[in-house]
Amino acid sequence: MTNKPPSAGGFFPRNFQIHPPAYTPDYKSSIARSPKLALVSIGNGISEIAGPVFGHEELGSTDNDLIQNYSAKGQSPIGERIIVYGRLMDERGKGIEGALIEIWQANSAGRYRHTKDKYIGPLDPNFGGCGRTITGEDGQYEFRTIKPGPYPWPNGINDWRPSHIHFSLFGPGFSQRLITQMYFEGDPLIKICPIVNTIPDKEAIELLIARLDMANTIPMDTLAYEFNLVLRGSRSTMFENRPEGN
């Protein structure tokens, strides 16, 4: 891995036909968060397309290993051990090197290590629920973690979030601090999740679902899931905080 800055240019516009509208009443949080005025398109300047650059020496040796990075010596978190891996790519399919990827998630009981999470699921003393890594030369990344559990949330009378992992990306430009969620293949809660159902395009939803990859499991130890991310362009992964483009 090197610390050289990745190439950057003007960013492709977002395809509004596959991304959710800002105002979707079935997802209650969107009512207060959606803009009330028409969006304004602003061109890319040097401040949007340049930097930041992250050095791999800034990360700890277990930052991308959520099984180890919070657990006590000789201990490990409770739950299904998994590897999540993939590539971060641009519109051309070219891997993006040197991008910072951060993740956070609930534990196997569906509870976050956060003061505002009051769900009755127990906290795991050996699981912090967050990690980070920097993409390699071909945009590759990898995390080792515990599969998060589903949990109820006060959107409707009986709404549950599917098992998911939050991804935060710092791409080649400052305007590319993007956030999304990764779901798991075969989860029946995906199709009834009010957040997922704000996405009008079924193919876009499929891009948010990690695929079980038995070829990359560790026998008798860890299952593997592949989740690739497209950072910009009409085939980009759906991101929550950049409806105007990425």
Considering the candidates 111, 161, 232, 242, report the single residue annotated as catalytic: 161
Is residue 164 flagged as an active site residue?
yes
Considering the candidates 166, 183, 232, 242, report the single residue annotated as catalytic: 166
* Six-digit token string for 162: 């599917």
Q: What DSSP assignment string belongs to the chain?
A: ---PPPP--PPPBP-TTTSPPS--TTSTHHHHHS-SS--------HHHHS-----GGGS-TTTTBTTTSSSPTT---SS-EEEEEEEEE-TTS-B-TT-EEEEEE--TTS--SSTT---SSPPPTT---EEEEE--TTSEEEEEEEPPPPEE-TTSTT-EEPSEEEEEEE-SSGGGEEEEEEEETT-TTGGG-TTGGG---HHHHHTTEEEE-GGG-BTTTBEEEE--EE-SSTTPPP-SS-TTB-
Asked whether the beta carbons of 239 and 246 are under 8 A apart, the reply is yes
> Cβ contacts of residue 224 below 8 Å, gap of 6+?
82, 83, 84, 85, 212, 213, 214, 215, 216, 217, 218
Is residue 56 flagged as an active site residue?
no
Is residue 151 flagged as an active site residue?
yes
Considering the candidates 19, 111, 132, 164, report the single residue annotated as catalytic: 164
Considering the candidates 151, 183, 225, 232, report the single residue annotated as catalytic: 151
The residues annotated as belonging to the active site are 112, 151, 161, 164, 166
